[in-house]
Each structure stands twice: as structure tokens, then as C-alpha cells.
Amino acid sequence: MSDKYIYGGRISSVRSAAGVSGILVKTTGGGFAFRVYTEDKSSFTDYVINHGDLAVTIGSRELAAFYSCGEDHALDHSPQVFGLKKHAE
């Protein structure tokens, strides 16, 4: 169910995003969007992210890892996805 509101000067349909699962995707412009697939996975909608401080939880089955090197920090695919070699200390 959705309601209509004036958003950005235009009449927009609005529905709650609470509890919706999706994927963060990098856009061609270098920004990010929140991709939500239809139930049968045949199509999707990409939502531009305008929210300034949205909480995100990475699923336990995602192949993702945090990388830190000095003051540089990144979130990317896991070392297994990239085939990275473990550094011997």
C-alpha cells in the first residue's frame, strides 16, 4: 500500500522501506543506489539514496570484507572472491 505526498516538488507514491531487502549498487556516476528486485527476480527498481544516515546490516551469507591499510578503509568483496593470497607475517 502506498500514499501520495509532494516530494521534491512532485506528486510521489510513498511506501515504507522498513524491512525491505535489497542490494547496494554503484551507479555509472560513481554514486550508489538501493536495488530492490521483484519477488520473481525478473526485474528491479534502483532507488537513488538521498537518506543521510541510513543503518545497513550486511547479510551473513554475503561475500564481503572490510579492508584497512593505515588510514584507508574500504568495503569490498571478500578475499576469496578476488583470489587474494594471505600475507605471511
The conformation of residue 82, written as its DSSP 8-state character, comes to: H
Amino acid letter for position 56: V
Query: Quick check: pTM over 0.85?
Result: no
Residue 2's pLDDT is what?
72
Task: Please report the pLDDT score of residue 1 as a whole number.
Answer: 61
Contact partners, residue 43, CB within 8 Å, separation at least 6? 37
SS3 call for 80: helix
Q: What string of pLDDT tens digits covers the 89 residues of the chain?
A: 679 999 999 999 998 899 999 999 999 998 999 999 999 999 999 999 999 999 999 999 999 999 999 999 999 999 999 999 999 87
* Cell representation of residue 87: 600475507
Closest CA to 23 of 32, 31, 14: 32
Predicted local distance difference test score (pLDDT) of residue 45: 97
| CA quadruple 19, 50, 54, 59: dihedral sign | positive
Q: How far apart are CA 61 and CA 48, in angstroms?
A: 25
